Structure 1
Amino acid sequence: MCPSFRATGEEEHSTRGRARLLHEMLAGEVITDGWRSAEVRDALDLCLSCKGCRTDCPVGVDMATYKAEFLHHHYEGRRRPAAHYAMGWLPVWLSAVSRTRAGAVVNALASVGPLAAVAKRLGGIAPERGIPRVARETFSRWWSRRFRDRVRAFVREAKRGERTRVPGAGRESVVLWPDTFTEHLSPAVGRAAVRVLEAAGLAVLLPPTFRMKSPAVMDGVSKAPAGFNVFMPHRRRRVCCGLTYVSTGQLDRARTVLRRTLDLMEPVLDAGLPVVVLEPSCAAALRTDLPELLHDDPRAARLAAAVVTFAEALERHAPAWTPPRLDRPVTGQTHCHQHAVLGDAADRRLREAAGLTGELTGGCCGLAGNFGFEKGHYDISTACAEDQLLPAVRASTADTIVLADGFSCRTQLEQLGGVRGRHVAEVLAEGLGEAPGDVLGKGPGGGPGAGRGRDEERWGRGENRRCGCGRPSRRAARAARPAPGARRPAPPTLRGTPV
């Protein structure tokens, strides 16, 4: 049943009521102002775009698609609400923060009450909401650093004759989709997924970041064809499912973004590789919205068919792998897009194999991407969360793991329930233990120290820092000095001879 109807009890905010208004708008007899109708806009305003009606409704009404189409026509050629620019263009703003490495500055400014209040007012964000923190290191930047470190280690070991094969050679490859939320807001989920997929015997690649005629280097690092970096601009392109544009009705922009994504993903499609998407809402957008928006492009259907969830990737491409046995109770909520579009059968089997017992609730968390952040939606968003999700979490025991694969669900749990929800990849990665090279780190996911390797932890303590010329930084040099009166260590030796 529609979450907003369950919260309000008003027929206007039910699937049937909205469908009736749309029918009257198109008929033009009762509602005569067509796509500019304020009455229809207000009725669709409380639609969470959860797509629950797509499967729960007997006739399969997809009100989320109707809402996106209506908003596209309603605001065509007109100024949109501020929230459409603030949250609809979220991938652009977060990419700008990443390129300028201003994450720490943005987080500091967002923690200042008056400044945060002004930003929320300008962006059309509910004043009751907290602004999510931007990750200090994006998932792709962590991947690039890790990739370079592995290449250097391979070269060193090969020179010593210790390495006999290239890492990942002979393994089945999968492409991990770096969605906007995983990339900029919760990279710990991406790091955990890499850890689990590699433990399952799969070679993990990232989508190409540069369109090229020759075969792409799918390492998430290369910016241009080999040998041309000197002559070509170092501008990376990132794949995007267009979800934030679709949910705010900016369909022309969504088509532009999706065409660019198909251009980047063409080598992946030609190679026939599966695309693992960690964020359920992004996976649903790629499976349903992409082929609907670009129905004239055959690549859209190919990419939609290649999309698999995290659990589906393990089940289909690593069937012999056994997940770590955790034997813990779980609670939480099945993502609404997973329920409506993706299906959760593979997730159920994965949880059972890992000894994660308990059923997840249905319904919607109430945040639903931009919906719960928009001004005027906070009360409805809270009522939706109090319907099933929050009561289930409160009734759980202290050792219960709260599962929430969607970033919106985790944010809602944190802001309303004070509980940290976790992606199933994080839970399994923790069960595997510390990876070689300390991929996951020892800090809690998403917090300080999370997902940092030993070198990064030493960097945070001031060790191993070097300036641009390659010499140790002043702080590192001071830390290396012996204390006054302490005995200096013996000079280093090479084959017993002082050097």
Structure 2
Amino acid sequence: MDLAAELRRTVHGEVRFDAGSRAAYSTDGSNYRQVPIGVVVPKTVEDAVRAIKVCHEAGVPVLSRGGGTSLAGQCCNEAVVLDWTKYCTRLDTVDVAAKTAIVEPGIALDPLNDQLSSHQLMVGPKPSTHVSCTIGGMIGNNSCGSTAQAYGKMVDSVIRLEILTHDGCRAWVGETDDAEYERVVAAGGRLAELYRGMREIRDTYMQDIRTRYPKIPRRVSGYNLDSLLPENGFNVAKALVGSESTLVTVLRAEIRLVDVLPARTLVVLGFPDITAAADCVPHILPHNPVALEGVDEQLVQLEHSEHVAEQAIKQLPKGSGWLMVQFAGKDQEAVDKQAQALCNDLHRKPNAPDVSFLDDPSREEELWQAREAGLGATAYPPQGPETHEGWEDAAVPPEKLGDYLREFRNLLERYEYENASLYGHFGQGCVHTRIPFDLKTADGVARYRRFAKDSAELVVSFGGSLSGEHGDGQSRGELLPVMFGNRVVEAFGKMKALFDPDDLMNPGKVVHPHRLDENLRQGSDYRPWEPATNFAYPDDDNRFANAAARCVGVGKCRGHESGVMCPSYRATREEEHSTRGRARLLFEMLNGSVITDGWRSEAVNDALDLCLACKGCKSDCPVNVDMATYKAEFLSHHYEGRLRPIAHYSMGWLPLWARIAALAPSLVNSVSNLRLVKLLGGIAPQRETPLFARQRLVKWLRGRTSPAGQRGKVLLWPDTFTNNFHPAIGQAATQVLEAAGFEVVSPERTVCCGLTWISTGQLATARRVARRTLDALRPQLRDGTPIVVLEPSCAAVFRDDLPNLLHGDQDAHRLAHQTKTLAEILTEQAPDWRPPTVGRRAVAQPHCHHHAVLGFDTDEKLMRQYGIDVDVLDAGCCGLAGNFGFEKEHYDVSMACAEDKLLPELRQAGEATLVLADGFSCRTQIDQSDVNQKPMHLAEVLAAAIHGTQPQPERPSAPGRAARTAVTVAGVAAVTAPALAWLFRRSR
């Protein structure tokens, strides 16, 4: 059978057996890598049933995958991968009275809770990957999170499951009383065989199950055979929770919901170290917190160094180990009393901890986000080697946690795995850590194996579980006999044989597992291609291979709620259009076994094609993957020596065309929006090309003398966009700076930051442009003159791209240090200056690069000081992103990004609300939409306040129809044809 062809014939969804798709799904959040046979994205649950039938007839393994964030290797396999997350995301029904819901497996937790919020209901468990983890994945993994303290594991939320075996047995299963059991058995068939088999396994191994399963809140390891015991209602659904796609595929789930508790109080307790904090856990549990988390000094220091939750960290009480204790309810006064009772109780005990109340919801949220970011913060510590999973979620009885941590620390020291941070769900005895295993040498891998065995014996000696949250997969499957003994593991094998006799459901995980040191993503044979690059990658040991391997798979880029990344994933819901998916393809390109054509790879090019180079991942990704830089690097090599897409010339060379256009801006404007010109330039016909201003900013600046200011000189950077399209913004900024006491100067020569060449991967040109700019700015760089940059994307080039592209050039680093936004220069060097109060309500759309590289906090604070009642939108990328949204093949995605949040937010804001958007791309996208407000730069608003007028943006006006008609033929001939002819000769 031609499997791919048969699946395409049978399945209505998407069937992908290409190298790029297989590469994108080759790993998860673990140390393991197994390239799948192919990927199926079912459109419906029935579609998935058809796909599994085809796979069964072909004798091919299947892996039903959730959000792909698993840390034990259970989400990668040499199988056909079912990805439910694009289409099978429905909330089928909600029973508000019963507090239950029926959902499809691909729905992610945060979007589900958003839909449930109108009923004041939510799902109880909340893993740290809640932005992207799916209900199906949570069921497969028996997920928990911090809220499991109050609501239990996912097994406690599951009521019924609709399941499908590999051989086609489909049924709803749940708690089974004797009458129901007899009914199922009497009906005969495969389902009756399963029920009889489970009853036999339960009866045969009943004593072993009762004695070998640890009685702790965080036992996630192994199959839930204890759910089949008589006292637990022979609950087949719960028995299948946590089976990691090794037994069945979950088609739908009926789950129990809980009330949203609006009243919350967070108490933070400080201790001398994390073991002392753990010792205090038993004294806190009787007070019934809804969450009880532990955080050690190293995690706090790492997050402080990475500027995560800085304000919240400053409010931590004294200590080197902390407990975050949260109380929740429906009445704030009662919750506060509960928290105070805890503090009073602890105060009466010896060695009472220091206490802080975080009563600011924003600070509380920061601290919880910092706790959830633990994996990312500890993955690449600034000092020391990268860290890995491998023993990151063991759990012990909470009353033994302090002693366990002391012994575990001794074990870490014995193996010389020093400086591993310890944190986790301490209220349930679950400890998270990432350890600097050496997984690239034979000795390092062997040492990792010995450590895992010793760790298993240690945790079992404390009556604990190998996994308290992340599951067994391949990391711990081999070690299950240490925890359960051979008899119970034998029972697991019989359960597997009963449901999956041909071993075709996620084989090699949990039962008959691969060795924990097999299928390593790195391993002792790891030798990636190390190509010469344009960027230096100083944070990755100057190696592109290290940069491409930076992603740890937590999947935050697959979120839909907040932040900037990843706009194209939000529009397409495709794994390869997430930051994680693109990183996987780059990793496989350097690995060379799946993607074999290196820089020329069309699979990688296709995945990067929809990357908007927004740089959102540089700030929002927990490990700061910088896909915009990786894309520029790839494009540079991919098109080396061959013709590029026309948009790389028409818009990638915009600074050059702008200089030419300045000779006759009216003529160029007359023809620039003609359909033929757009076609020749690769521009979407739906787009209006921006009009060139009649007078460039540099000409205006050179025609005037700025008065000497008491605060000294600043150089106003004439970026391409302000200089050629919106010079009024530069004029407004000049007026503001002079009013604030600065003397404004401009470069004496034509300059450019190189942004458009960088974003299109024309890095050799970008480097030449950058060096000319550094030469032109040499006087200012030598005397420390601040460089005020009004366009955020250009400021981001100076702060981030050029020091990387010209690594080691001290002038590039000086420029990065001297580059200031308008808000920064006013805040830092004119803190006492105030314009007349603006007194207007506004919404602000931060440019992506402003968010990711520069930070918007200074701007927000400044606006409020100047009397602007600003609401900073958390609307993600506008979707235009430089040349991206102008390119005809990207128009639909560009508008989908804008319609995700930005444009709906602006429509609701009202016409009287100012719209602030410092980025040229953001303003252009808004200008070309159906919203009524005209976006403005902060400089325009402040200048209007100085003049006592209402803020009004100034934009070049379009030429009339007669003018356009008169110059059409001449314009096309005089401007377009010579340019294209020169381009063609140049490309050859």
Q: TM-score per shorter chain, which class? A: 0.7 to 0.9
**Aligned equivalent of 1:109, options 657, 671, 691:** 671
For the pair 1:141 / 2:655, whether they are aligned, the reply is no
Are residues 1:319 and 2:831 paired? yes
Instruction: Find the partner of 1:393 among 906, 911, 915.
Output: 906
Using the alignment, how far apart are the partners of 2:682 and 2:661 within structure 1?
Answer: 20
Please name the residue that 1:367 is paired with. Answer: 880
Counterpart in the other structure of 1:415 = 928
Contact 1:97–1:103 (Cα < 8 Å) also in 2 = yes
Q: Which residue of 2 aligns with 1:195?
A: 735
CA contact (8 A) 1:326 1:354 kept: yes
Give how far 1:6 is off: 0.6
Deviation readout 1:160-192 (Å, 9 max, x if unpaired): xxxxxxx31544111110000010000010000
Post-superposition Cα deviations, 1:420-470, rounded to whole Å, max 9, x if no partner, equal: 1100100110111179xxxx9x9851246xxxxxxxxxxxxxxxxxxxxxx
Written as runs of structure 1 = structure 2, the 5 A alignment for 1:396-475 is 396-418=909-931, 419-433=933-947, 445-447=954-956
Distance in 2 between residues matched to 1:6 and 1:169, nearest whole Å: 48
8 A contact 2:710–2:741 mirrored in 1: no
For the pair 1:36 / 2:600, whether they are aligned, the reply is yes
**Residue type at the aligned position of 1:132:** P
* Counterpart in the other structure of 1:156: none
Match of 2:744 in 1: 204
Q: Distance in 2 between matches of 1:65 and 1:309?
A: 22
Secondary structure in structure 1 of the residue aligned to 2:714: strand
Q: Determine the structure 2 residue equivalent to 1:153.
A: none
Does the CA contact (< 8 Å) of 2:709 and 2:742 recur in 1?
Answer: no
Matched, 1:270 2:800: no
Q: Is the Cα–Cα contact under 8 Å of residues 332 and 393 in structure 1 kept in the other structure?
A: no
Which whole-Å CA distance do the structure 1 matches of 2:672 and 2:899 have between them?
27
- Give the C-alpha shift of residue 239 in structure 1: 1.6
| Contact 1:139–1:187 under 8 Å retained in 2 | yes
Q: Is the 8 A contact 1:332 1:392 kept in 2?
A: no
Question: Could you list the per-position Cα deviations for residues 184-226 of structure 1 after superposition, in whole angstroms to 9, with x for gaps in the alignment?
Answer: 00001000000111111111111232xxxxxxxxxxxxxxxxx
Corresponding residue SS for 1:23: helix
Matches within 5 A, 1:11-410: 11-98=575-662, 100=663, 102-110=664-672, 116-147=674-705, 167-168=707-708, 170-209=710-749, 238-362=750-874, 363-410=876-923
Post-superposition shift, 1:107? 1.2
- Percent identity between matched residues is 58
CA deviation profile, 1:100-130 (whole Å, cap 9, x unmatched)? 2x0011112235xxxx111111111111111
Aligned counterparts of 2:709 and 2:599: Cα–Cα separation in 1: 55
Query: Is 1:326–1:356's contact at 8 Å kept on the other side of the alignment?
Result: yes
Deviation at 1:304, TM superposition (A): 0.7
Report the CA distance shift for 1:19/1:444 in structure 2 as closer, same or farther (over 3 A): closer
Distance 1:169 1:311 in 2: 18
Q: Deviations over 1:368-387 (max 9, x none)?
A: 00000112101110011111
Q: 2:735 and 2:883 mapped to 1: Cα distance?
A: 30
Q: 1:207–1:268: 8 Å Cα contact kept in structure 2?
A: no
CA distance in 2, matches of 1:206, 1:145: 11
1:397: Cα distance to partner? 2.2
Amino acid in structure 1 at the alignment position of 2:741:
G
CA contact (8 A) 2:709 2:738 kept: no
Name the CA distance, whole Å, in 2 between partners of 1:293 and 1:414.
33
Task: Report the alpha carbon displacement of residue 410 of structure 1 after superposing the two structures with TM.
Answer: 0.5
Partners in 1 of 2:687 and 2:628 — Cα distance?
A: 24
Give the Cα separation in 1 of the matches to 2:581 and 2:657: 36
RMSD: 1.7
CA 1:433/1:36 → structure 2, altered by over 3 Å: closer, same or farther?
same
- Normalization by structure 1: what TM-score? 0.76
Distance 2:648 2:756 in 1: 9
Q: Secondary structure at the match of 2:675?
A: helix
Relative to its length, the structure with more strand (as a share) is 2
Does the CA contact (< 8 Å) of 1:13 and 1:46 recur in 2?
yes
- Native 8 Å contact 1:277 1:307 kept in 2: yes
Matched to 2:745, the amino acid is L
- Confirm or deny: 8 A CA contact 1:172 1:317 kept in the other structure: no
Number of aligned pairs? 391
Greater C-alpha radius of gyration: 2
Structure 2, unaligned runs of 5 or more: 1-564, 958-988
Residue 332 of structure 1 contacts residue 389 of structure 1 at CA under 8 Å; is this kept in 2? Answer: no
C-alpha separation between the residues in 1 aligned to 2:849 and 2:709? 35
Tell whether the 8 Å contact from 1:338 to 1:344 is kept in structure 2 after alignment. yes
CA distance in 2, matches of 1:78, 1:51: 27
Instruction: For residue 296 of structure 1, report the CA deviation from its aligned partner.
Output: 3.0
Q: Distance in 2 between matches of 1:434 and 1:319?
A: 21
In the TM superposition, residue 330 of structure 1 has moved relative to its aligned partner by 0.7
Change (3 A) 1:170 1:58: closer
Paired position in structure 2 for 1:453? none
Q: What one-letter code is carried by the residue in structure 1 that aligns with 2:881?
A: A
Letter of the structure 2 residue corresponding to residue 374 of structure 1 = E
Any conservation in 1 of the 2:934–2:953 contact (CA below 8 Å)? no
- The one-letter code sitting in structure 1 at the alignment partner of 2:819 is V
CA–CA separation in structure 2 for the residues paired with 1:138 and 1:146: 13
Contact 2:566 2:617 in 1 (8 A): yes
Matched, 1:7 2:520: no
The residue type equivalent to 2:569 in the other structure is F
Whole-Å Cα distance in 1 between the matches of residues 948 and 745 of structure 2? 21
For 2:845, the aligned partner's letter is: Q
Structure 1 residues 81 and 208, CA gap change in structure 2 (3 angstroms):
same
Report the Cα distance in structure 1 between the residues aligned to 2:709 and 2:862, rounded to whole angstroms: 26
Describe the superposition over 1:321-360 as per-residue Cα deviations: whole angstroms up to 9, x where unpaired. 0132112111141111111100111101111012211322
The SS at the match of 1:331 is strand
Distance of 1:339 and 1:245 partners within structure 2: 21
Q: CA distance change for structure 1 residues 399 and 311 in 2, over 3 Å: closer, same or farther?
A: same
Q: Conserved in 1, the CA contact under 8 Å of 2:860 and 2:870?
A: no
CA contact (8 A) 2:917 2:937 kept: yes
Distance 1:286 1:135 in 2: 25
* Distance in structure 1 (CA, Å) of the matches to 2:775 and 2:792: 23
